Each structure stands twice: as C-alpha cells, then as structure tokens.
Chains A and B, each alone.
Chain A
Amino acid sequence: MLGKGVGGGGGGSRAPKPSFVSYVRPEEIHTNEKEAAEKEVTLHLLPGEQLLCEASTVLKCVQEDSCQRGVCGKLVCTDFKIAFLGDEPALEGDETQFKNKIVGANDITLHCVDQIYGVFDEKKKTLFGQLKRYPEKLIIHCKDLRVFHFCLRYTKEEEVKRIVSGIIHHTQSPKRLKRLFLFSYAAAAHSSTPASPQKHTVMFDTLEDWRGELERTRGNMKYKAVSVNEGYRVCERLPAYFAVPAPLPEDSVSRFQGHGVPIWCWSYHNGCALLKMSALPKEQDEAVLQTHRSFLDGVYRVIHRPPYEMVRTEDLSSNFLSLPDIQTAYSKFKQLFLIDNSAEFWDTDIKWFSLLESSSWLDIIRRCLKKAIEVAECLDAQSTNVLLVEENASDLCCLVSSLVQVMMDPHCRTRAGFQSLVQKEWVAGGHCFLDRCNHLRQSDKEEVPVFLLFLDCVWQLVRQHPPAFEFTETYLTVLSDSLYIPIFSTFFFNSPHQKETSTGGEGLDVPSAPLHLLTVWDWSVQFEPEAQTLLQNPLYVEKPKLDKSQRKGTHLKHQRQLSLPLTQSKSSPKRGFFREETDHLIKNLLGKRISKLINYSDELQDNFREFYDSWHSRAPDYHGLLLPHVEGPEVRVWAQRYLRWIPEAQIPGGGAGALASSLLGVMEEVRRLQERVGERPQPGAGAGAGAGTPGLPRSARLSSLFPFALLQRPSAKPLLPTSGWKALGGEDDLATREDEFVDLGEV
C-alpha cells in the first residue's frame, strides 16, 4: 500500500498539471452523466446538482464496540456535497425518524467541510492545495462535528487522485459568490418549487414589516420606520428599511453613510428602547473629527430630549469580547469533539474539564449572557435606553441585541418570533454570514462563529428554562446545521444589499426573472411533518390569551400586556433599586460623553448583582423577563450539538430521548382520549403534539443521541474507559495509607 501511495504521488507530479476547472467543464459532466444514470438509484441529486467526480471501492470506517469496521461503497463529490454510497443497503430499522431530506447521514455539504486530513503511513496530515502524494485514508472533519474516515487502500490509484484532489479543490479553494450552489439550485428548482410563503416569520425586507414590529412593541410612538436607504442609496451595509428615533431628520442618516446614527432594535414595554449604532469611521483629521462630534451631539440631543429616556451607551468594541477571542476559543473548543477514535476519547476524558476550560468557550458564553443581563437591567430596572455601539454594528451588536430580546420579549421565544428576530437582527442587520462562516473560503481570518455563539447562548436559556420556549434544543441544533446548507439564502449573504444585487438579475446569465431563493424557515424543505414535531417543545405553554374583546388584527396574538404608560415613566414602580444613585451615575457618565468611560464601576456591578439575585429569588415567569444562571455549574456544554456523533458518548436507552418519548407518549394518549370523549383537543394539552406525534422508536432503542441517531452500538456491551488513573499529586501519602489503622494481626 505504501508503494501505491508513493507511486500515486509521483504520478501526480509527473502528469500534466491537473486542471480542476475540468471538473465543471460541460463535456466532463456529459461523460459522467452515463455513470450517474446508472447510479441513480442510490445517488440522489438535487435540482441543479452535478456529479463532479467519484471513486469506488472506498471503505467507510465505522466504529463498533471500540473496533473499526469498513463499509464498502462509492465516494462521490458533486457541486453540492460529498456523499458516500454504501454497497450494503441500510437496514430499514436503522433509518432515523429524524431524517433530513436534503442532507443524508452520509452526505457532507461542501460548506460543511472543516478540515481534511490524509493518513500517510499511519501519520495524519492536513491536506490542502495540490498534493504530491495521495493518502491511504481520508479523514473529513465537518463543521457540524461529524468525523468521516474513508479508507482508500483498495481504490484505484487514478480514482484516488481524482476524488482526493476534487474534494480538496471544491471544499478549500476560494470561490466566487456566483459559484455558490445556491444559484444553480435556485435556477433549476425555479419552476418546480412554488414559493411557499413563510407564515408568521417576518422577513424585515419591507417598510411594512418594520412598522408592524414598531407597533407590536409599542415603539411607534417614539420611533419611525424610514425608507431613506431604499435601493441602498445611502449605505450598502444597512437594510433598505429600518427604524430610527422619530425626530431624527432623515438626512442625518445619509450624512455619514449610515454611521453614527442610532438605529432602533426593539422597545421594551416600559417604553425604553434598545438601539444600535455603527461607529463613525476613525479619522485622524481634527476637522473631520470636529464635524463628527457635533453631528453626534446633535443626534444625542435628539434622543435625550423627552419623551426619551436616558441613554446608556455600551461600546461593544471595547470592554467586551473581541472577534479573535471568539475565533480562538471556538477552534479549541470544537477540537474537543472532533474525535478520531475511541482511544482519543478516553485519553481526553480524564482531563475533560480542564480542556473545556482552557478553550474558554463556556466563559465566552458566560460573558455574553452577563452582558445581555446588564443591558436588560438598564432597560428594566433603570428604565434607561441602551445604545449598542460597534464598528459595523453587525457582529456583537447582533448577538447582544438579539440575546436581550430573547430574554426580555416572550414573543422571541416562540418559533415565529425567534425566526423573525434572526431575520431582523442578523439577516437584515447585515451580519456577514458569508464571511463569518467562510462559505467562500476566501479568508480564514474572517471566520468567526458569532451566530453559533448566539445559538449556544440561547441553548443555555432553553436548558435552564425549558417551558419558556416554543422550540426545542433540536430546533437550535438543526438551525446550526442549516448554516452550511447552500440551498437556503438565509445564511449565504453578507447583507440584504448583497443578496439583492446577486439575485436581482443584473450580471446573471439568466437576465430574466429574479431568482427565487429558499429561506431556511421553510422547515418542510428539510424535514417531513413528523420530524418537524421534534422542533416543537411539548413543554411550552402558550401565554393565556387576554380578554377576547381585546382581540383585533393579526399582531395582537403576540402583544404583551402593556400596563405601563407609554409616555415617559420616570421610574418603573415595580423595582427601583437605588434609582436616584444610578440616575446620578448615568448622568455623570453621559456628562463625560460616550462609552469608553463606562468601566465596570462597583456601582454597576452592584446593580447587576441586585438585579440578578432578585430575579433568581422569585419563581420564573415564563412569559416575562427571563434571566439565565451564569454560575460555573450552570453554563454547560450543548451536549446535543457537540456530542451527538460520538458513539462513546452515547447512553443506550438513556438521556433526554427517554424523557421525550415518555412525554410525547402521554401527550398522544391524552389527545386520543380527548377525541374519544368527543372533545376538541385543548390547546396546551394534546395540541402541542400538533399534526401527529412522531412514531417514536421504542425507548430501548433510543439513546442520548436522540434524535440524531438511534442506537449506533449494536451490542449491549458497555464501553469502558481505557485510560488510566491520573496521579494524585500531593495526596500520595494518603492514597497509600490503609483504610483502617488497625493491625491485622496474625501475619
């Protein structure tokens, strides 16, 4: 085998420069078509998807009872995915109920590939660029944390070369935006897929949407939706429509291309608002600086005037996380879950907690949660507006702002509300998904999992307060997976402007109708209705409806009680911790103007503590303000997302799956009984089960990996740690001592 590898390498270097372009050349595709036709039974191609290269007699290594087994089959690479087609038909019973219709268990979308390793003479090396030698084994680490091992030992040399270089090329070399599969799919599926309107999810791409949101939050008294950026005349980073303080003249928006203008995110029921602002460009010129300053002064004067509450500025560019921090932490953290084999699992198990800590991912989550609590404290306890400032207002601004809304606005804890929130703060808010996910492989430096961090923060809340959310952790997990499926437009653009210009016809081969792109919120694209019920939290109890006479319009469903007057309320009567002191403090801080002065003063920390402790000392109101716990033991690893593919971490017949099946079972039973009694299912009882409870597999076959995998380990044999005991440091004298100090006598 060794000779083969070397020979292959030599061949590769001698052969005419491999032309990767050829993989997409039409004639090449034509030649592949015949083969593809033969394989049609097994290889499922999406509309517009094209087979690029393939290799047969590939062994996919599967872990079984701590030994590796090979499944023989074919490895293919298309312009959408890498797929393994096993020769053995999958056992019917092994099919998970929770099947993704787009990405199968053995499919890896090209964007989901994280790292590719080759094994050469038992040594693992990262593969990139052009190879001189071809590996005997290919290891693919995915962004959704799956790990695939493909053994190429029995594959023809020629095929090895083609598949390996094909996979490397298509997953790792920089791409142009227009080459995204998104476009070929949209063009091909164009006629076949009718546009399915996303009921309830607000996309925030019309003026109406913003007006509706202002109305829903009662922010419309002080804020207005503006169309000044229609056609992106002012700024390409801003959406076409957004909301600003009502008295703000529209021309001030265009003054610095949308920078330095407070943009409305959300209003709390006491009238305080959460605002964001991108910082003005850093200028050296004193004159320009002066202009900036007076411009900002003007803006502040507008928003400080009654009826506006005081504003506290949170500069997220300083005193908070940096994007490189997040990047470093996540790359260390994910490595803990990309485990190649059983030995590695048990070796790392013994130092698991310190490994986790040294990644500092959980600490970063804690800091985000704390920041959101601080902001919530200002809005709630101090009745102050909060203005988030960041360079482009499109990374940490999105994170903090949406986290605050999840905590403060129960509507954001419904599915529709959460999806609308992601649309508002992230998609319309211009979070650079394309760069942050590195979808185009253009710059590794830009790749920062900010959105994933947000989902992880939300997961912490979901874990701590399950009844408060209409969606489940499974929903969050599949949402995080959807980041890498290039048929949805949601996470494949840097801004609404970019989306519009790339799909608007201009510059496209097909100049006619604008492309219809799918949104990720159409869950039926990925999941059958049965599987979709797993996204719905059976514990969620809808807020009891208010008096029916108040019902009017479609928005009322989500409206909260508005007990507080809409005009400025000087202090919220519910809780007024040290009101005067804080007002004084805020005034002081504002007197010195702007952000950077806001350090963690003791007073601010005391406010935080008091707010936090007082909230946690009461029973949580799942339809009101919701705060997370941030103590050490309460910030956890999102086990479902991170551990789901690791067979060693599987608890056969245990874990959350067992509870879920009991719960769904009894819900179904209640639903049936209701039918038999001749009653319409009551909301909140059986109704949560929705269209029909999924036919859950028997609990013995469920595991902690549910719903992502049924029992992977076929036998009932327990897995035993293989690593030994860590030395007990200074305790050795104790360790060697006898349990009892009694002499055993009769020696």
Chain B
Amino acid sequence: MASASTSKYNSHSLENESIKRTSRDGVNRDLSEAVPRLPGETRITDKEVIYICPFNGPIKGRVYITNYRLYLRSLETDSALLDVPLGVISRIEKMGGATSRGENSYGLDITCKDMRNLRFALKQEGHSRRDMFEILTRYAFPLAHSLPIFAFLNEEKFNVDGWMVYNPVEEYRRQGLPNHHWRITFINKCYELCDTYPPLLVVPFRATDEDLKRVATFRSRNRIPVLSWIHPENKTVIVRCSQPLVGMSGKRNKDDEKYLDVIRETNRQISKLTIYDARPSVNAVANKATGGGYESDDAYHNTELFFLDIHNIHVMRESLKKVKDIVYPNVEESHWLSSLESTHWLEHIKLILTGAIQVADKVSSGRSSVLVHCSDGWDRTAQLTSLAMLMLDSFYRSIEGFEILVQKEWISFGHKFASRIGHGDKNHADADRSPIFLQFIDCVWQMSKQFPTAFEFNERFLMTILDHLYSCRFGTFLYNCESARERQKVTERTASLWSLINSNKDTFKNPFYTKEINRVLYPVASMRHLELWVNYYIRWNPRIKQQPNPVEQRYMELLALRDEYIKRLEELQLANSAKLSDPSTSPSSPSQMLPHVQTHF
C-alpha cells in the first residue's frame, strides 16, 4: 500500500501550492474508474477476481492493472484493498491447473519484494488468468519486454527538484575540501578511470592523476581509494575502495603501497593507517583465488588491518528470506525468539553496526585515518562508510543530509541498485539480488530507536525510501552506477524521490529532533537493544497494526499548544504596548512551527 499511504501523506501538503497540478498530490482520481492515477499512468485492464487475503480469507474484488500499479477494490465494500506498484513484484506464478479441484485453487500467486505475497483466484473456465498473467508479467518486468520502466513515463511535477539535493562540490566544500592535503579531481569525468565511480573524486593532494591510473590497475574494478569523509577537527579521513588484486601469488604494487602511504601521511597524529576489511578473514583469503585479497603486513608497512566479519550478499539474501518465513503471513508466537534468532538477521545488523562503530571510533577518538573495503567496495563498504558518517556527522541526520548521504555513498559510488533490486527484471532468482540497502536502512532505524531525538526524519521517511526503492516511480534508485544513469539521462527523464519527500517535508519530520552539532552517536550493538523492525517487516499483518505513536501525538499536541500560547502572549504584549503607544518593541511574529524544541524563551 505504498502509494496509498503516500497520497495520504500528501494530503497534508500546503494549500497554496496546488497551482497547475492535476491535484495536490499529483494523483489523478478519476471517479468513474475508481483507480488513483499518476500523470502518465495508463490503465491496461481490469478483471473480477477473488483476492485470497491471508488474514481475512477470500474477498471478491475487481483488480485494475495500470502500467504502474495493481489496484484492487472490494466488490462488497467498494473499498480499496490493495494498491501495489508493479515494481515491487518479484515473481508471478500460476497456481493450480485447469483441472485442479478445490475452491479458489486456480489463479495467480505473486511474490513481492516487500515481504508479502498476493494471491488471486480466478474462474477456471476459459483460461481466464492467462491475460492477467501476461499483462502483469509485461508491466511488472518491462525490461524483458523492451518496455520502459515507469519512471520514464511518469509525468509528475513537483515544486522542488530532488535532483538538485546532492551537489558533490558543495558537499565536499561543506566538509572543508579541498584543503592542502586533499584535492578534487575530475579525472573520472568521462568514467575513464573507473566506470562505476562518480565523475568527481577527492584524492590526496600529493597523488597525481598518473598515480591514480596506476593504482586503479591494482584495485578490483579500478575502484581506487578515495575520500568519503574528513573529520572537521582532527582531519582524519574515511577512505573507501575495493580489494587489492593480490591474487594467489601475492602480487604487490608499489604505486598502491605508496598511495596508501600518502593517505596515511595526510594525518600526522598516528603513524599508522587503519584498514577495515568488511569481510570475514576466511572470505578475504578465499578471494585470493579469484585474484583479489587484502593488504598484507609485509607489503603495506604502516598499516593495521582488521576484518569485520560481515557476510556476503548471498548470506544476507537467505537471511531475509527466513525473516519473511517467520512473519508472513503469520507471526510466530511462542517460538518467536528462537525463530528470530535462527534467521540471523539481527546478528548481521549487529555486525554491521559494530563495524561502523569501530570505523567511527577509530577516526574520532583513535585519531587514525581509516580505509574501508570489502570485495568490490559497493555493498558492505557503502554500509560501513555511510553508517560511520551518520554516527560522526550530525548533518547526515537531517532530512536533506540523509538524502545527500544516500545519494553520495550509495548512488554515486555505484551500489548496484539495479542488480540488487532487479528493477523491471523478471529473473527473480538472480544471485545478484540482495537486500543490502534495506539492511542499511534497518541499521539507521535501529540507531533512530536508540537515539529518538537525534534524527530529523521519522520512521515514515525510512519506509517511504524503501517503498520507492522498489516502486520504479522515481529514477533515484535506477541503474547500477552514475555512468549508466548519465547514458539514460535519468535526471532529465525521471523525477527524483527527494522531490516527493522534500515537497512534503513535514510528514517526514521527527518532532523530537533536537539538533546537536558535533555529537557522535554510538549505538549499542547488543542483541539486548536490537529489535526486529516490526512496523516495516510485519506491516501487512492487520493484527500487528501500526498505531500512531501516542508519545509523538501528545508531543505534537503540546507543541501546538505552546505555539498557541506564544501567539497569545505576543498578542497580549502587542495590546499592552499599544496601550503604552510603543508598538515597535513587540517581537516579530514567530515562525509557525519551530523545528527544534528549545527549552526556554
């Protein structure tokens, strides 16, 4: 129900901005159709079906399929039961055959990427499911049918442009870069150095472009060490890259060794450079067989290497599958805890957080620069650098800061969203698929649970990001890297998710947010505090219903009350000063909603 809820949020949007749009939230509701439609969304078909709801049993309804969504209305209550963007569909299967017996045994079973399955029963006569199957397959997996992904057809317009949120030059400037140790290079402008890196990179001042090219030959997929973040005070840095191409023979590369030494020398407080290899050491060793490996002591003298024991994409994928098994459709009851443990999901979360804490702590109190890599430096590495940055830099805990973080560490540095999510691709069993980004968002959620006042955004923000990770409504998460996006002109031809979010910011704000600059957040990576994100993973279960958070509600009420009193107080003061015929001293009118809670006025 991703978009259903989205449109609900949108209804809160400001009154005065609905100028030329079809409706305020951009969703065109044609009453005769009774299906919400986005600009550019076209209806394909509709059909009477029986929706086999895992919670309430079979319900008669009419399913409408557009090029963007599957929408189901109940025939009995005439209410919307499902509103599913086709992008979340991972697999469509036929269940039962023309001759199978039993009620509702003939139909379609749809597996979704967002932890649910949809089942529809159809009439057995005349292959009634065939066209529904074909249409769904066609529009859910457009790539296999040479059709465009919906984001390219979407004509939604927003009053802010999300593509403008991340400007690398500005972001590096915010970090105080370039400085006399680090420079910005455009060597990758045409993706010639590394086709999965962004055009703009920050590298040591003392490394020449020629050095970079030579280093690139020794790093998997040319993903050389580049700066992700610099500590504003002690100037230690987080650098990311892929594994060195050591191989079985233990190859060495003087340029790479020298390059790491140059990085080390940008920080004079500690004589060593710390390298965090995100993988379990066994895997790092095993990688030598395929040409990879890790930085050995004898080749890299002034380095310290630690393995963070985070498992690979396949282990994570299987783990999430097990989570689905225990929460959908029914939630385990008395063996809940041991079932949860057996999924290992939270254990993985714990290891990722532990790794990120180590990185953050090393940079912050260890005063050592840190180099992070895994195999290719686009999965675990992105998790570690972005989480460490979230812990260290309060800017990334704001809504726009978080958007920048995602845009920078994930999108621009080539996390393979297209392969990991499989946008528009029918190959549901593709071994490249893995919930790495979801896992990162889960870690962020765990942090926001532990520090409820530290983040400007709320849970809904994180869930909206995840919904549109799959929906294909926006171009934000499409393709594997910047070079592909540029080829497809994504920023020109699609809308950004941040446009939607930033034009409705209030709905994504955490009322408890208290801005604290320079505060480092270390979550406690203990099972005692980690919990399954019930509101996300079990949100389809009506029994575990998300209630509006009462604490939040009450707080909002109080804030509103406070603002009312402030207004009244000002009116009183104004009236008083009018009496004293000295109106100039009254304070200027307050902004309607103060974003942060100040204790005193």
Contact = CB atoms under 8 A, between A and B. Distances in A.
B568 A677 contact: yes
Nearest to B530: A352
Contact of A351 (B341, B529, B543): B341
A288 interface: no
A357 B338 contact: yes
Contacts of A345: 526
Interface stretch (B10-18, B83-91, B544-552, B585-593): B544-552
A529 to B, nearest CB: 21
Nearest to B314: A734
A744 B291 contact: yes
21 contacts: A349-B528, A629-B543, A631-B543, A632-B331, A633-B544, A634-B534, A643-B528, A649-B528, A651-B523, A654-B451, A659-B452, A670-B562, A677-B565, A685-B561, A720-B357, A721-B525, A725-B351, A734-B312, A737-B312, A740-B375, A744-B292
Contact of A746 (B245, B309, B337, B365): B245
B539 to A, nearest CB: 12
A466 B350 contact: no
A716 B365 CA distance: 9
Nearest to B511: A662
Contacts of A212: none
Contacts of B336: 357, 631-633
A669 interface: yes
Given A718-B357, A720-B358, A658 B524 contact: no
A362 B554 CA distance: 30
Given A633-B532, A669-B599, A731-B318, A663 B333 contact: no
Contacts of B521: 653-654
Contacts of A656: 452
A354 B337 contact: yes
Contact of A631 (B354, B527, B544, B565): B544
Given A354-B337, A734-B314, A650 B245 contact: no
Interface in A692-725: 699-700, 704, 716-721, 724-725
Interface string B209-220: 000000001001
B354 A721 contact: yes
Given A539-B554, A651-B523, A704 B450 contact: yes
B304 interface: no
B315 A662 contact: no
Nearest to B311: A735
Contacts of A662: 453, 512, 514, 555, 597
A353 B525 contact: no
Interface stretch (B61-69, B231-239, B279-287, B470-478): B279-287
Contacts of B516: 700
B154 to A, nearest CB: 31
Contacts of A283: none
A648 B526 contact: yes
Nearest to A363: B334
A634 B544 contact: yes
A734 B318 contact: yes
Interface in A415-469: 465-467
A366 interface: yes
A25 to B, nearest CB: 47
A633 B538 contact: yes
A728 interface: yes
Interface in B544-575: 544-545, 547, 550-551, 554-555, 558-559, 561-562, 565-566, 568-569, 572
Nearest to A717: B365
A471 to B, nearest CB: 15
A509 interface: no
Given A654-B452, A670-B558, A747-B248, A665 B280 contact: no
Nearest to A633: B534
B338 A736 contact: no
For A366, A617, A728, A747, which residue has the most chain B Cβ atoms within 10 angstroms?
A: A747
A234 interface: no
A630 B336 CA distance: 11
B518 to A, nearest CB: 11
Contacts of B339: 632
A53 interface: no
B322 to A, nearest CB: 10
A659 to B, nearest CB: 5
Nearest to A730: B318
A652 B338 CA distance: 29
Contacts, number: 237
Given A663-B558, A669-B599, 9 more contacts: A352-B526, A357-B337, A539-B554, A634-B544, A646-B528, A649-B526, A668-B599, A739-B375, A745-B291
- B-side interface size class: 35 or more
A613 interface: yes
A1 interface: no
B376 interface: yes
Nearest to A613: B543
B520 interface: yes
A659 B453 CA distance: 7
Contacts of A289: none
Interface string B440-456: 00000000001111100
Kindly list the 3 A-B residue pairs having the minimum CB-CB distance in the complex, ordered from nearest: A632-B336, A718-B522, A673-B565
A666 B559 contact: yes
A351 B344 CA distance: 10
Interface of B: 217, 220, 245, 247-249, 280, 282-283, 286-287, 290-292, 309, 311-315, 318, 331-341, 344, 346-347, 350-351, 354, 357-358, 360-361, 365, 374-376, 379, 431-432, 450-454, 512, 514, 516, 519-529, 531-532, 534, 538, 542-545, 547, 550-551, 554-555, 558-559, 561-562, 565-566, 568-569, 572, 597, 599-601
Nearest to B558: A666
Nearest to B522: A718
A616 B543 contact: yes
Contacts of A362: 337
B559 to A, nearest CB: 6
A356 B522 contact: no
Interface string A634-656: 10010100010010111111111
Contact of A353 (B217, B286, B313, B341): B341
A724 B318 CA distance: 21
Contacts of B354: 720-721
Interface string A301-321: 000000000000000000000
Contact of A539 (B335, B351, B551, B565): B551
A665 B594 CA distance: 15
Contacts of A737: 312, 314
A633 B533 CA distance: 10
B344 A747 contact: no
For A539, A643, A737, which residue has the most chain B Cβ atoms within 10 angstroms?
A: A737
Nearest to B565: A673
A735 B312 contact: yes
A632 B318 CA distance: 22
Given A633-B534, A676-B569, A720-B357, A738 B554 contact: no
For B282, B336, B358, B525, which residue has the most chain A Cβ atoms within 10 angstroms?
A: B336
A738 B451 contact: no
A747 B248 CA distance: 8
Interface in A348-378: 349-354, 356-357, 362-363, 366
B202 to A, nearest CB: 26
A229 to B, nearest CB: 41
Nearest to B335: A357
Contacts of B247: 747
Contacts of B561: 670, 685
A104 B360 CA distance: 37
B355 to A, nearest CB: 10
B379 A739 contact: yes
A736 B283 contact: yes
A656 B551 CA distance: 11
A637 B292 CA distance: 45
Contacts of A665: 597, 599
Contacts of B528: 349, 352, 637, 639, 643, 646, 649
